[in-house]
Chains A and B, each alone.
Chain A
Amino acid sequence: MLRVSALASVLPGVPGLIYTRRAYDDLFSYYAPIGIGVFALFALAIVFAVIRYRGRPPSAAARWHENDRLEGAYALLLACVVAFLLYLTYSAEHKVDSVSAHEQPRLTVDVVASKWEWTFSYPAYGITARSGAVGDQPLVVPTGEAVRFELSSLDVIHSFWIPALRFKRAAFPGHTQNITLAFGSTGLFQGQCAEFCGLRHPEMIFSVRVVTPQQFTAWAARGGGS
């Protein structure tokens, strides 16, 4: 059975190559601690306030009920947090969307989604693989190279998701979208349709076999297969 294992955390140093997994992990490493910290802060504040101020007679309650300066300063602090988060997000998105779109792909794969299968075609090699309700031929890609996927659908909206890459993109009928992805380490990964597409949506899965560039060349020369 397939395993969703993490890609190697240390990726081969190919300059300029955008690893969506790394962009996600970097961003996550900022967002997650901030989120957990804020939750802890508010939870502690509530618990403290309740313990400190419970069981007093109603007449003991304070009468003050506003402090515009304090709230203004606090709103400013929040705005700074928003600006910081957006800076992080925009930097990461710029890399994932814009920079990766300009990478020179070493390999182009046509990905056609349909109810309920994936067809992966390698125009340069005349190879076609099918996965989903009808078969389980994996998508084969080399490590450390920019791979362009030309993504489209034959019928309804599907979504091309490779969880180990932390990336998905919707596939629309009658429209081709180009996305460029890079794979950090060899192994067998899971992929699937993320957009509900009808009856056999759960069966619209595929596997991704990531091999070394040498193995990939040999695989392509053999005309595909396992």
Chain B
Amino acid sequence: MISIRHLAKQFAAPSTKRKGLAGVSLKRPPARFVQAVKDVSFDAPDGHITGLLGPNGAGKTTTLRMLAGLITPDAGSMAVDAIDVASRPREALARMGVLSDSRGLYPRLSARENIVYFGRLQGMSADAANARAENLAQMLEMTALLDRRTDGFSQGERMKTALARALVHDPANIILDEPTNGLDVLATRALRESLRWLRTPAGGSKCIVFSTHIMQEVERLCDSVVVVAHGRTVATGTVPSLLAQTGESDFEEAFVKLAFAEEIQAHEAAPELMR
């Protein structure tokens, strides 16, 4: 169970360089700020797959990084199973399995060693982490890979290893940042199957948050969708309810209406500027 309320974060942007000698001035140009996340709120219940859908640069990754405690938010609150992330980040992290945007593995360690290392850091015993690595390998169909060094793994093999690593401590909350990036159809399907199983009571009724910019993923997999654009939550609901809200029959059209409302309005107000 994850709930996020009115999250906001701005970054100091690298200043734009002036051309020629003017750019070599000793005076620092005034810092510019980019508001990456303005107001994001959503709830992700247990036994439920919540899709975080938004165009590139909408603030999805920043939101998930704040949830994982990597970035301190400027405003807003986040709670994981009623644990406040800001005040008790370690307890919150112990209840989360995060597959982040960067999912680098240690190339000189085997897949098993990569997975067990994270299990140990989560406080598991060596035996427990090992047993869990084998379980996960079965679920993700990667048993044959387990004792190979990850150097030379394919994109899909890396992804499976990174996912197993994130799930090694059997977290109640699973957060995946664009997990299907770079995966082929079969690997995507396999991942989808795994996530569906994790949602069921047999799989542990996990709370799964899944960020993506691919409509089909959301339509096929998610129980509910949170549309994020320009750093704000612009719509929340199931796929049919969002279709109904926008009066569209195609989900892509609905998404464009929801996510790019500002641009469409600007376009209608001053069409000649957009040409």
Decide whether A and B are members of one complex.
no
Residues on A lying within 8 angstroms of B by beta carbon are none
